[in-house]
């Protein structure tokens, strides 16, 4: 039985969420995009807690697009917790952020990010970045066995 292939977007900015959805549609990426709006909700989703307690723990995203500047729990802490857990430690995590801080870049990779992408402001650049992310993470990349 093939699992549902979906992307988890962890993003608190409504404009960036709308932009990402539009970019996915424009690039004909049909995979479901699940959106959570803060770091605490991302952890609840991944670890089947609170409002996600009835979600199947084995139903993990194909890739996580993770913003860094999140309310409640920041993106770097979310990444640290993902990597500490035996169930989620191998999940591909792409940091997708507008942060230009070198420390965020260094810390993201140190904590095990698979990729670090700075959000372009220009929609054409952003849709191209989404196309490349979708092509690589959803079609070309061979994920770890679940």
Alpha carbon distance 47, 42 (integer Å): 9
This prediction's pTM = 0.88
Alpha carbon distance 4, 60 (integer Å): 9
Confidence tier at 140 by pLDDT (50, 70, 90): low
Residue 30: the pLDDT is 80
> What is the CATH number assigned to the segment(s) 6-139?
3.40.50.2300
* Cβ–Cβ under 8 Å, residues 126 and 120: yes
Alpha carbon distance 135, 97 (integer Å): 19
Q: What is the mean pLDDT of residues 5-29?
A: 89
Tens digits of residue pLDDT in 53-104: 999 888 899 999 999 999 999 999 999 999 999 999 999 999 988 888 899 9
Beta strands in the chain (DSSP E): 6-10, 32-36, 63-66, 93-97, 115-118
Judged by phi (left if over 0) then psi (alpha if -120 to 50, else beta), residue 57 lies in alpha
């Amino acid at each position: 039985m093939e699992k549902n292939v979906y992307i988890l977007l962890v993003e608190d900015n409504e404009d960036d969420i709308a932009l990402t959805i539009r970019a996915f549609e424009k690039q004909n990426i049909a995979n479901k995009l699940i959106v959570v709006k803060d770091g605490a909700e991302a952890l609840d989703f991944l670890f089947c807690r609170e409002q996600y307690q009835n979600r199947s723990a084995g139903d993990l995203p194909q890739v996580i697009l993770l913003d860094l500047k999140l309310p409640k729990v920041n993106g770097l802490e979310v990444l640290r917790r993902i990597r500490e857990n035996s169930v989620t430690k191998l999940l591909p995590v792409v940091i997708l952020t507008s942060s230009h801080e070198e420390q965020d870049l260094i810390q993201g990779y140190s904590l095990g990010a698979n990729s670090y992408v700075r959000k372009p402001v220009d929609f054409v650049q952003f849709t191209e970045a989404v196309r490349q992310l979708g092509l690589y993470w959803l079609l070309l990349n061979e994920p770890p066995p679940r």
